[in-house]
Each structure stands twice: as C-alpha cells, then as structure tokens.
Structure 1
C-alpha cells in the first residue's frame, strides 16, 4: 500500500470545546473542516496515522520520532478530562529509522535523548492532541506514530517525508499523514507573536500554492516573508509534501480563518496516480543558489569565507589574497561577520569599534570567531562548509542619540547601554520591522530592563553579500 492521504490541520487548544467553551465559536470553520478530515480518515481506515508536530522535542539537527508511551491530555489547558492513549507502530518506526540512516537524513528516537535536559516531558503535546481529538470523534482504529520536525533544511525534511512513504510501501501498510501546524501568528496587533503587515500576505500566498500543490513555488517563498509571518507549520508541511513525492496530488483547502491573530488552515491532499519526483530538483536548486552566490561575492565576503574554510580545514590563519581592495588594508572600522546555513543563522560575531589595524584583519578575526566561537552554536565542521553563506557588515562609528525617533530599523543599527551592560543589533534584519522591536531585542541581549534608564546609540553599515 503506502500513503492513502495527507492533511494539514491546526492545533489551537481553543478549538476543543472542553478548553475553549463558548470561544470555540470563533473557530467554527476550522472545527467543521477538522471533522471532515476525521470522517475521511474513518473511511480510509489506515493502519497507521503519522503525525508531525511543531511542539514536541524539536532539535536543530534531526527529526525526533516519539519513543515513549503514547499518552497525553489537555490538563495544562484546563481540560484534564481530555486524555488519550494510543498504540505505537513499532514496525514502521523501525523501518523509517533504518532507511533514514542509510540515506543520511538525521532522525532520532526520543528514547535516545535525555528529554528532561530540554524541558520536554514524555507525553503527547497539544500539536498531537488537538488534531487527534477531531479524528478520534470518528475513528481510533489505527496505530499512531508521532514525531517532531527538526530545524533541518526544507529539502532534507522533504526527503524524510519520502522516507516515510518508502517505509510504508516496504511494509505494505496503509498510512495517513497529518501535518500539524498553524500559519502566521502575527495577523493582528493583539496577536501572540506581535503584528506584521506581511503576515496575511504569507498566509494567502501559501494557501494559493497549496491549492495547486506547487511544491517548487513553496520552496521559492522569500525567507524574509516566512520570518515575518512567525508561522509554525511550514516544516510539518515539508515532511508531509515529501511523503507525496512521486504522486500526482489532488489538493483541497477546506477552511482558512484567522481568529486571535493566528492563521488556521485545514487542507486535504489525496494521491491520484504516479507523478514526477522533484526531490532532485529541490537539491539541485539549493546547490545552484549557493554556487551563484559564491560567484557573485565581493572581496569582503570572499575573505571571510576563505578564512573560515582554511581555519576549519587546516587549523591555521590564511594569508591575505594579493588582490584585496586598498581600503580593506588602509581603513579601520568595526566589522560583523554573519554566517547562515540553509537560511538559518549559524554564527554571528563582530566588533562595533575597530580592534585591528585594518578592515581585512577585522574580517579575518571575526570570520573565525563567528564560525568557531559563537557561544550559541557548536563550531563549524568541515562537512558543513559547502552549505554556508556569508555576509560582512562594515560599521560606521556609533553616535549617541537622545530619542528613539532618530532610529530607523532599516537604515540604522542600535546600541543600548546601561553601565557595563550593552547590546547591539544590526540594521535591516529579517523580521525586525519597527524601532520598538529593534530596541526590545537589543535590551534583551544586554540584560537591560525596558524600564531602566539606558542610553541609545545608532550606527550605519555597508553590507556585503
């Protein structure tokens, strides 16, 4: 058999009447669509329901398959009577893990991790419980295999979804996939993650692409737009879409609404015969984008990249290239080097005032620090180097300002100071659209309370890609 069908379902506990009470009326469209999904799954009669949650043990470098007793409740949302227990599909779990290992896609079972170290309990989270609540109103005659997506590249999550399909076909199991996830969390000024005028754009764009099941167009969504949306469902979708790779797909968007400032979408995706696999296209696209960026990088970025590559591979500081622009050798400035991997930050270290005799030395030192000494990340490994992209910001000298009115988050970076504490935020960052956001982040970095009497400084940058 294989994949019978796949669904996108939201997971706000308020949809559950025992939690939301009268407020469930605000999510009527989502509830009715979720019940339709439940009825469809009853008719499909799957052996196993695979559910991908954003609220389980989410790791930076691996998908995590739940490997604890599949019990849970909504007691933390005031509904202890809503509790469930399921039988795990151990055969499918084992087959998925074996294929993932052979194909080099990182996947772990939760039993291999000390979850308590990450503040995660061994119970079903609401990302699982809410969608399953509506399914079990119609059927519970299936085994359950829940998992939490990892913060892996979208292409790797898509490849993992295809592994789920291969495992299901190998074991001749009938499997339904549910991608649990909400869309933007920033639709209104009172939304839980703050407001972004671009949030609705993200939701409407994604929904239009889901109606066509245009995976390649979803892959081309602007990272900045995704960041501004504050979504939690896109990675679940990528695994789900991968499970349908090689099929023609009949998509149906059953509902969309945005109460409480959060976008809820329910959609169904039914296999409709053999189609074309696009997995190789996705990987080729990623590689071509990196190659294009490398070809177009200027001397500043090239020096940062070559410095880190030499240091990681050979453990030494490289010599300067002979063709560096004169200003890199004669001028002094603060410099920040930022490194990303698959669009996610991998390291960022800098100096807001010059500490070396020229810009080139500043870049060289900060490139190594960003790659190997950023305390938020493990040092870069040699095998990561081909996947990294770099930017270099050269800073003007900071100047004191007496009011936030003299800031512009697109033009100016900000420094906040109180005594020996200080925090800096670069300008023109994805997801930072207002002065208030900019100052708030800088204050958190500095450990300064917003009600303290702090000082402000601003600076500009020349950003090199």
Structure 2
C-alpha cells in the first residue's frame, strides 16, 4: 500500500524561490507555478512530518544518511539575495527508518552534529531541501541522502524499508523527492553542453508520465554520465517506497530554462 498522505517530485534550482528570482522572474516561472500547486496538494493532506530525499546534503560514503539532529538550518543565496530556513527534525521517525533499513540488510546510518540534543544539535540544510520546503507546510522533517556508491536495486530496497517505517509510525507523512535532471543543456553552464541532456530528460519525462519509475535503473552508466542528472537516486527510493500499482501520477511541468532540467510531478494513492 501507499503509506504516504502525498508524495511529489520537485526540483531545487535556487531561482524557483520567489525571494531569489532576481530580475528574470520569468526564467523559472513555469516551475514556480507548479510548486504552488504542489503546495496546495500537500497542505490539503495536513502532514505531521515531511521526508525529503536530497542529493546535496551530508553524505556518508556507501550508506544512506538519515538526519537525527534536534533541528536543521541553512541558507540559499542567489541573485544577490538570500533565503534562510530552520526546521525541527522528527527524530523518532528518523530512527525508525534507519532501524527498518538495517533489518533488511541495507547500509544505513543516522547522523547528528554537536551534541546529542538541544540547540547545538543542528545539521545544515542544503538547497536540495530548502527550495522545495519553501513551498511546503512548516512541520518537522527527516532528510535522507542517497548513496551513489550503492546499486540502483539497493535504492529501490531502501525505498521499501522507508515505506515500511512510515506505515509503522502511523503518522501522516509526506514524501518529497528533490530532483534536478540533466545538467548539460547549455554550453555556458558549469558542465558544458551534451546532446545526451535533451534525450535523457525526454526519456525521464516519458517514464514519469507512464508510471515506470523503476526503469530508470536501466539507464546505461555512460548515458547518465553524459547527461549529468542528480534525480535518479531519489526517484528510485520513491519508486521503492510506493509500489507502481499504488501510484497515480499527475505530471505538472518540465522546463530547462538554464543548464539543467526541472520537473514537477504529484503522486497519489490509486485508492483516492
């Protein structure tokens, strides 16, 4: 079954945040409007907690990293402006996720900083978390970093353990897969241009629309390296957490206004 009250795929380009859009508000306007829709969908479900899957947070080599600090705080800077955020962590849920993963033999660990508890127990919030959370309800969070050293199958299995933990928690939990896609759309971008970027994003859009997320595990390594996405790993966790037969997808938008692709999609239980 689908244990989440709502799940979504959301991008994390800094300019999506209205306060950081600068003098070109139209540049990510399509995505910004889609994020407002995801806000409405998530808020309607009144979650107790949000789980965010990010490629940019604190990583542990060869293990899934799950936040277990008292709180998290961070800042995103873009266009001579900044946006700061602080959130409490649902430590009970974080530890339950880790326990379920370890019981399945999946390499996983919780992480903390400073002190066991209290105001100094604070991990950094990265832009992969702050950008989508800017549009979401202010509730406790659990942030999870995938481990690219592990196989795609292990990401699917971790997703299954994640879903099991959420079901056991009996909490109203929302899930956000924070994903940007191919990063080689523009020769002036930091990764240059590669024609694989357009082809890759087209295939990703098709797999999302046809509810075949698991097939992203079949992308060839060379194709991935040429296109340079950062969304596959989080997507496969989402796919493991919500079985295909329980997923109903509403594809909201795709755009690549700069050097990387942006996708917004909503996932509901098919029973709704």
Same fold per TM (> 0.5)?
Answer: yes
Would you say 1:269 and 2:267 are equivalent positions? yes
Partner of residue 203 from structure 1, selected from 190, 201, 204? 201
Distance 1:123 1:218 in 2: 29
Question: Residue 230 of structure 1 aligns with which residue?
Answer: 228
Deviation at 1:208, TM superposition (A): 0.2
Aligned mates of 1:179, 1:46 — CA distance in 2 = 16
Aligned to 2:118: none
Following TM superposition, where does structure 1 have runs of at least 4 consecutive aligned residues deviating by more than 6 angstroms?
A: none
SS at 2:59's partner residue? coil
d(CA) in 1 for partners of 2:244, 2:208 = 16
Instruction: State the alpha-carbon separation in 1 of the partners of residues 17 and 214 from structure 2.
Output: 34
Where do 1:63-142 residues align within 5 Å? 63-68=64-69, 69-75=71-77, 78-80=80-82, 82-111=83-112, 122-135=123-136, 139-140=137-138, 142=139
Corresponding residue of 1:256: 254
The CA distance in 2 between the partners of 1:89 and 1:247, in whole Å, is 29
TM (norm. structure 1) is 0.54
Q: After TM superposition, give the deviation of residue 188 of structure 1 in Å.
A: 2.2
Q: Is the 8 A contact 1:73 1:83 kept in 2?
A: yes
Q: Please report the TM-score for the alignment, with normalisation by the length of structure 2.
A: 0.90
Q: Distance in 2 between matches of 1:160 and 1:247?
A: 18
In the TM superposition, what whole-angstrom CA distance separates every residue of 1:296-339 from its partner, at most 9, and x where no partner exists? xxxxxxxxxxxxxxxxxxxxxxxxxxxxxxxxxxxxxxxxxxxx
Counterpart secondary structure, 2:159: helix
Cα distance, 1:28–1:58 mapped onto 2, change above 3 Å: same
- Greater helix proportion: 1
Determine the structure 2 residue equivalent to 1:16: 17
Q: CA deviation at 1:244?
A: 0.3
Q: Distance in 2 between matches of 1:100 and 1:259?
A: 38
Q: Distance in 1 between matches of 2:96 and 2:245?
A: 21
Q: Within 2, Cα distance between the matches of 1:250 and 1:209? A: 13
Structure 2 distance, partners of 1:148, 1:79, is: 27
Equivalent residue for 1:242? Answer: 240
Tell me, what secondary structure is at the counterpart of 1:7?
A: strand
Q: Secondary structure at the match of 1:199?
A: helix
Partner of 1:60: 61
Distance 1:31 1:246, change over 3 A: closer
Aligned residues: 262
The answer on whether the counterparts of 1:93 and 1:145 sit within 8 Å (CA) in structure 2 is yes
Summarize deviations over 1:274-315 as a string: whole Å, max 9, x none. 9xxxxxxxxxxxxxxxxxxxxxxxxxxxxxxxxxxxxxxxxx
The 8 Å contact of residues 216 and 232 in structure 2, kept in 1 or not, is answered as no
| Paired position in structure 2 for 1:414 | none
* 1:4 alignment partner in structure 2: 5
8 Å Cα contact 1:13/1:77 also seen in 2 = no
Higher relative contact order (CA 8 A, sep 6+): 2
Distance 1:216 1:201 in 2: 18
How far apart in 1 are the matches of 2:271 and 2:208?
18
CA RMSD in angstroms, aligned pairs only: 2.1
What SS does the aligned partner of 1:260 have?
Answer: coil
Give the Cα–Cα distance (whole angstroms) in 2 for the partners of residues 76 and 199 of structure 1: 24
Residues 19 and 215 from structure 1, CA distance in 2 versus in 1: closer, same or farther, beyond 3 angstroms?
closer
Deviations 1:191-230 (A, max 9, x none): 2211101110000001101111113432222222211111
Answer yes or no: is the 8 Å Cα contact 1:14–1:23 preserved in 2.
no
1:143 Cα offset (Å): 1.7
Per-residue CA distance 1:229-267 (angstroms, 9 max, x = gap)? 111111111111111026421112101000112101111
Q: Is the contact made by 1:16 and 1:24 (CA closer than 8 Å) also made in structure 2?
A: no
**CA–CA distance in structure 2, aligned partners of residues 246 and 259 of structure 1:** 30
What is the rounded CA distance, in whole Å, between the counterparts of 2:199 and 2:147 in structure 1?
25
Q: Note the residue ranges of structure 2 that are not aligned, 5 or more in a row.
A: 115-121
- Give 1:273 deviation, angstroms: 4.1
For residues 79 and 146 of structure 2, the distance between their equivalents in structure 1, rounded to whole angstroms, comes to 23
Once the two structures are superposed, the pairs formed by residues 178-327 of structure 1 within 5 Å of their partners are 178-245=176-243, 247-273=245-271
1:166 aligns with 2:164: yes
Unaligned runs of 5+ in 1: 114-120, 275-465
> How many angstroms does 1:78 deviate by?
4.2
The offset of 1:28, in angstroms, is 0.6
